[in-house]
Amino acid sequence: MIKYDLICENDHEFESWFQNSQAFDTQLAAGDLLCPHCASTKVSKSIMAPNLRKKSNTSGALTEKDKSAEITQMMSHVREHVENNFDYVGDKFASEARAMHYGDSEERDIYGESTLQEATELIEEGIPVAPIPGVPDKLKN
Ligand SMILES: [Zn+2]
């Protein structure tokens, strides 16, 4: 079984278990994959990307409200930036990220899909990856 982080066309994020990656594709193609929030069948795997290298110096003095606004803004910027500037590597994400980390491949900014397990393995090997966030509904105005 694999667990995928999924996201629908309305940016609802949810998790679902599948027998294997083929089962995911089959269910998606058959329209059997529904967003639990809006019942949309336009569902895709949540995209993973390496951490952007810049270090953020967020102070701890922000209020909750400031934080929400900042996070919402940051999320949409990150996603847009990644989609415009990074190389899309699809489901080769884990192997590409690993090749770059070990110097087998030239370092560049990439994004793509990975399973939660692949992402966990990368993190355990000290390879920085991060999910590209959608914007949660509760943070939207
Ligand atoms: Zn949805």
What's the pLDDT tens digit per position in 68-121?
A: 777 777 778 778 888 888 888 988 999 999 999 999 988 888 888 888 888 889
Q: Which of 30-39, 61-70, 77-86 has the highest mean pLDDT?
A: 30-39
Q: Are residues 40 and 99 in the same domain?
A: no
Judgement on whether residues 57 and 4 belong to the same structural domain of the protein: no
Are residue 75 and residue 28 in the same domain, yes or no? no
What is the C-alpha separation between 134 and 75, in angstroms, rounded?
7
Q: Are residues 84 and 136 in the same domain?
A: yes
The CA-atom distances, in angstroms, between 83 and each of 20, 49, 74, 96, 133 are 27, 10, 14, 17, 12
Q: Could you tell me the distance, in angstroms and rounded to a whole number, from the CA of residue 92 to the centre of ligand 1?
A: 26
pLDDT greater than 90 at residue 1: no
The mean per-residue pLDDT over the stretch 23-32 comes to 92
Specify the amino acid at residue 82.
V
- Ligand 1 center to residue 28 CA distance, Å? 14
Residue 139 has pLDDT above 60, yes or no: no
Number of domains in the chain: 2
Cα(first)–Cα(last) distance of the chain, in Å?
A: 37
C-alpha–C-alpha distance, residues 132 and 66, integer Å: 21
Whose tokens are 């990975």? That residue is 114
Instruction: Measure 87 CA to ligand 1 centroid, in angstroms.
Output: 26
Distance 24 CA to ligand 1 centre (A): 17
Q: What is the pTM of this model?
A: 0.43
Expressed in angstroms and rounded, the spacing between residue 31 Cα and the centre of ligand 1 is 14
Task: Give the pLDDT score at 140.
Answer: 45
Closest-CA residue to 2 (of 114, 123, 132, 126): 114
At residue 85, the pLDDT reads: 86
Summary mean pLDDT of the chain? 82
Average the pLDDT over 48-76 and give the result: 64
Domain of residue 41, residue span = 1-45
